[in-house]
Structure 1
Amino acid sequence: MTRTWRIRTVTDAARARIAVARLAAEYGVPTVERARLATALSGRLRQCLTKGGTWVLTLDGPGPSGGDTALHAVLTPSPGAGAADGTPWTVTVPCPEPDRKAAPATVPEDPAGLSEALLGADEDTAVVLDKLAEQQELVAFHREELHQTNQGVLALHAELDAAGRAQREAFAAERRARKEAENARRRLTFLADASAALNASLNHDEIARRLPELLVPRYARGVDVWLFDQDGDRHPPTTHPAAAVRAARTGRPQYAADHPGGLPGVDDRPPSALDPHRPLLCVPLVTRRAPLGVLTLSPPGERWDPDDAVMLVELARRAGIALDNARRFEHNRDIAETLQRALLTDLPTRPGLSLAARYLPATHGLNIGGDWYDAFRQRDGSLITVVGDVTGHGLHAAMMMSQLRTALRAYAVDGGGPGRLLTRLHEFLHHLQPDLFATAVIARFHPDEHTLTWAAAGHPPPVLRLPDGRVRVLDAKPGAMLGIPLHQEIADHTERLTPGSTLALYTDGLVERRAQGIDPGIERLAAALGSFGSAELGADLEDAADRILHPLLSDSERDDDVCLLLSHLHA
């Protein structure tokens, strides 16, 4: 279908525009597209009228065969009409209903009908404006929705930023907490290790030497240990900072510097006149009774961390306790040594019998225990030799050993054999000290007969060397330990002695070792005693005692006291 219009005047242009709009409506072109076609055509026609000349408008639409599905409008100048511009103008509009048969697009010739047709063309414009209004409302709705979305996005970004800051702050707090926990663990580990090192010694001079080794250079650049009783004849007078003197008087830590220390539990003082440019921390070495001294430290840097200062004050407190324990130990040791020396008296002499004794304190601990030996005569002229061991160490054990020695001598005045004496000692100890025990072995040499009577109570057996070099261990059934809650009657045992025989009484410190037990030690003692000849033992029993001890005590450290008493019967 092809339609053609020749346009020379405004009226021709209006009829052509109306006809094209009606044909587009007949073919079902949508209102918006139809309005767009009419508007574009009106604008082009206005330009053509302005240019002048005759123009031909051709409209091609779908034919009966249905091959084409669009409307094609072409506006060209008429050939030979003298148009100013020969370039055609073309516009194409799709037809939703190409199979419809369009009615003839007749346009009235009279002005009234033309005007009515032109007014009817505004209906498409009104529809377009309505759709435009709907689109504007939709755009406004979407704009508001976008605005709300943007506000939500901004709020979300703000929340995410706040969450990010909170997370960063949490991470920073966690790092600080982890660092503080690590520092606290480091301080506690150091405090535990330093306390163990200080308490491992019972020598207060050694403890005072160890303090600078522990603190420099990690927690202090310099350390001075002022012990009050050290200022005397053994040491020249020393000048101490005023803060140290005040710490000694008040028992409170002092911080001397030209700036406040801010250390918990520490009093701030002016800088020391001895060294005004260096801060000093003076901590008293306190004990249960009174301060023993003052620990003066200078910081490893500009100043101390408050937590480090708290740890140093606690270390000084523990050091004071360690020093006090060491001095108590040394005091008790001196008393025990004095008592021990007073009790280990000279051995008696008797024709035909030689005696030699050795006592060695332990190299660990208090060094004074309950080992003892004694020898004395009875009224019938017989000679009593005894070796005993009170459980425990220290002053208490030494005092109990003294009481047992005195009780034995008192009981021996009434006579009686070794078994009877041990039985009475057992009853005495059980009633005097129910929680204290002892072991002992007593040997009695008869003056007129070459006989040996002996008895043991929980003690290692005597070792007897015969003149021919053979050695016997007198391991007849002994009694139980002295002082145990058990009634017992300890029996005597008798041996016939041949001149030239030697008897060894000893304590378990000589023969017992933790890793080996006691039996191998007794065998070594028997071998050492058997290696001597009768002439050697009779000539110098003192030298023989030293030569016996040497191989048995080859190790330099002993956990227990050692006591040995040798008795040699001359020919």
Structure 2
Amino acid sequence: MNRRPRSASAEELLTTLHRLTSRARHEVELHQARVELAEALQREMLPPELPSAPGLSTAARYAPARSGLDIGGDWYDGFRLPDGALAFAIGDVQGHDVEAAAFMGQVRIAMRALATTAADPGEVLRQTNELLLAVDSALLATCTFVRLEPGTRELLIARAGHVGAVWATAGGASGVTEDEGGLPLGIQTGEDYPVTARRLTGDGVFVLVTDGVVEGPSYPITEGMEAVERVVRAYARDDADTVADAVLGTAERTGHEDDAAVLVLRHTGAPAAG
């Protein structure tokens, strides 16, 4: 005998709908709590402000990963050194989870401590590398470390496997740095990190990024760097915050699910000493 399927009553439908709605609300609340926790942790990992000097303005931006825990290993930093110079760093720890964030915190703290006694950026990276290898972490990090002399605007730059920087002047000149560097931190003991000297002049801007800004699954890093250079050149006359926002906006075209960071050093035209 054929039986017709029993139709659910209105009460049963309402009960089911209520149960699904409650579950969805609970999941939304859990996700919101997770996002707020990740954002709070990330804020604690990054500096609340960057140092500046007469004739120099700075800005930085961070965007969380679009997958995982919304927290990652990208970071930026800036602080004053005992001798009056300013130190800036940007880097990227592999991964975007709590482990990557914790390792990033270790790298950042180590570099701050070592920079107080090692004036040479290459030496800061070398000692940081040896320290990370000594603690036997399975992770590695890329980084660019910059020492800036406020009086002369001289930049001393060392790279550990990190992407290049972009510069531009208000006069329309621009470029991507191809300075020599060493291996990422945490790979090989005894690694050296060459130092390159540059100068921030001509009402110019110097921009450091992580690979989440310039590289994606089907987006070559060369195209990404060219896109950032075009943006930096177009906004070279604007303030550091505007430049930072514009550069971070280029990350949307990469299709990258990694986090991203931008650090901007801008010469504001004040005369330099010497």
TM-score, structure 2 as length reference:
0.83
Distance (Å, rounded) in 2 between the aligned partners of 1:485 and 1:435: 12
Contact 1:457/1:481 (<8 A) preserved:
yes
Residue 570 (str. 1) matches residue 273 (str. 2): no
Which aligned pairs between 1:169-568 and structure 2 lie closer than 5 A? 223=16, 334-344=36-46, 345-533=48-236, 536-537=237-238, 540-550=239-249, 552-555=250-253, 558-568=256-266
Cα displacement (A) at 1:332: 6.4
Distance (Å, rounded) in 1 between the aligned partners of 2:139 and 2:122: 20
Cα displacement (A) at 1:498: 2.1
Contact 1:332/1:394 (<8 A) preserved:
no
**Greater RCO, 1 or 2 (C-alpha within 8 Å, sep 6+):** 2
Deviations 1:420-451 (A, max 9, x none): 11111111211224311001001111123231
The alignment partner of 1:369 has SS state of coil
Cα displacement (A) at 1:340: 0.9
Contact 1:389/1:507 (<8 A) preserved:
yes
Cα displacement (A) at 1:466: 3.1
Cα displacement (A) at 1:570: 2.1
Amino acid aligned to 2:259: D
Distance (Å, rounded) in 2 between the aligned partners of 1:347 and 1:398: 20
The alignment partner of 1:381 has SS state of coil
Contact 1:418/1:492 (<8 A) preserved:
yes
Which aligned pairs between 1:33-112 and structure 2 lie closer than 5 A? none
Cα displacement (A) at 1:226: 6.2
Distance (Å, rounded) in 1 between the aligned partners of 2:222 and 2:189: 26
Contact 2:166/2:206 (<8 A) preserved:
yes
Cα displacement (A) at 1:415: 3.2
Amino acid aligned to 2:41: L
Contact 2:77/2:88 (<8 A) preserved:
yes
Q: Relative to structure 1, is the Cα distance of residues 432 and 556 closer, same or farther in structure 2, using a 3 angstrom cutoff?
A: same
Distance (Å, rounded) in 1 between the aligned partners of 2:220 and 2:37: 32
Larger-gyration structure (1/2): 1
Deviations 1:323-371 (A, max 9, x none): 8xx96x8776554432211122211221111001111112222211011
Cα displacement (A) at 1:224: 6.9
* Unmatched tracts of structure 1, length 5 or more: 1-215, 236-322
Cα displacement (A) at 1:462: 1.1
Counterpart for residue 285 of structure 1: none
Deviations 1:482-539 (A, max 9, x none): 0013420111111133231210011000000111221110011011111134xx33xx
Amino acid aligned to 2:113: A
Counterpart for residue 3 of structure 2: none
> How many equivalent pairs are there?
254
Amino acid aligned to 1:570: T
Amino acid aligned to 2:61: R
Q: Relative to structure 1, is the Cα distance of residues 338 and 422 closer, same or farther in structure 2, using a 3 angstrom cutoff?
A: same
* Unmatched tracts of structure 2, length 5 or more: 1-7, 270-274
The alignment partner of 1:393 has SS state of coil
Contact 1:384/1:443 (<8 A) preserved:
yes
The structure with the largest helix share of the pair is 1
The alignment partner of 1:337 has SS state of helix
Deviations 1:151-189 (A, max 9, x none): xxxxxxxxxxxxxxxxxxxxxxxxxxxxxxxxxxxxxxx
Contact 1:355/1:566 (<8 A) preserved:
yes
Distance (Å, rounded) in 1 between the aligned partners of 2:254 and 2:19: 34
Distance (Å, rounded) in 1 between the aligned partners of 2:202 and 2:77: 23
Distance (Å, rounded) in 1 between the aligned partners of 2:153 and 2:51: 19
Q: Percent identity?
A: 35
Q: Relative to structure 1, is the Cα distance of residues 396 and 424 closer, same or farther in structure 2, using a 3 angstrom cutoff?
A: same
The alignment partner of 2:94 has SS state of strand
Amino acid aligned to 1:338: A
The alignment partner of 1:488 has SS state of coil
